[in-house]
Amino acid sequence: MSTKKMFSGAVIALSLIVFISMLSSCGAAVEKLLDQMVVEGNKQYPMQIDSETRLDRIAHPEKGVLEYLYTVNISKKDLDASPVSIDDIVSMMKTMSVTTLKNTTDKALKAIINFGTVTFRHTYYDKDGELLFSFDVTPEDYK
C-alpha cells in the first residue's frame, strides 16, 4: 500500500474520531443543560398556569427527555365522563405545546430546540394524583 493511501486512511480515521467526539460532547452538553434547567426551573414551581392547571415541576427522567408534570383541577372520573375524548384533548394540547416551543423566547429552551434531540414530555395528573394522560413532543414535531 502506498504511503499516500495510508496517509489518506489515517486522515479519514482521525476525522471520524473527531466527529464522533464532537457529537458525544454535544450530547453531553444537552444533558447538562437539561439538568440545569430542571434545577433552576423547579425553584419557581409549582406555578399556577391557569385557573384549572398547575405546573408542579419539571424533570429529566431519561436521556434526551425534559418532562413537565401538571395537576389539573378535575377528577379522572369527571374527565372520563366528559363529552370530549381524551384523544381530542391530547391532540389539542400537543398542538398548543408545539406552537409554544416554536415561538419561545426563552434562551435556554431555544438552545435545546436548536440541538433538535430533546423530547418534551407533558404528563397530567388529576386533583387526586391519578394519571390522566401523557404525551411527547418529539424533535420531528417541532422542527
Within a domain: 132? yes
Within a domain: 88? yes
Within a domain: 11? no
pLDDT at 18: 37
Within a domain: 75? yes
Within a domain: 80? yes
- Quote the cell numbers at residue 52: 384549572
Give residue 79's domain range: 33-142
Query: In total, how many domains does the chain have?
Result: 1
Of residues 5 and 101, more confidence is placed in 101
Give the DSSP H/E element, type plus range, for residue 40. helix 3-41
pTM over 0.85: no
Average pLDDT rounded to a whole number, residues 108-122: 87
pLDDT class of 11 with cuts at 50, 70, 90: very low
**Strand locations in the chain, DSSP E?**
47-48, 53-59, 65-72, 119-125, 131-137
- Quote the cell numbers at residue 46: 409549582
**Domain CATH code at residue 67:** 3.30.300.250
Compute CA distances 10 → 7, 18, 24, whole Å: 5, 12, 21
What's the pLDDT tens digit per position in 61-110? Answer: 999 999 999 999 999 999 889 899 989 999 999 999 999 988 988 887 88
Within a domain: 14? no
CB atoms near residue 57 (< 10 Å)? 15
> In terms of C-beta distances under 8 Å and separation of at least 24 residues, what long-range contacts does 136-140 make, across chains too?
136/65, 137/94, 137/97, 137/98, 137/101
Within a domain: 76? yes
Within a domain: 64? yes
Alpha-carbon span 80 to 2, nearest angstrom = 73
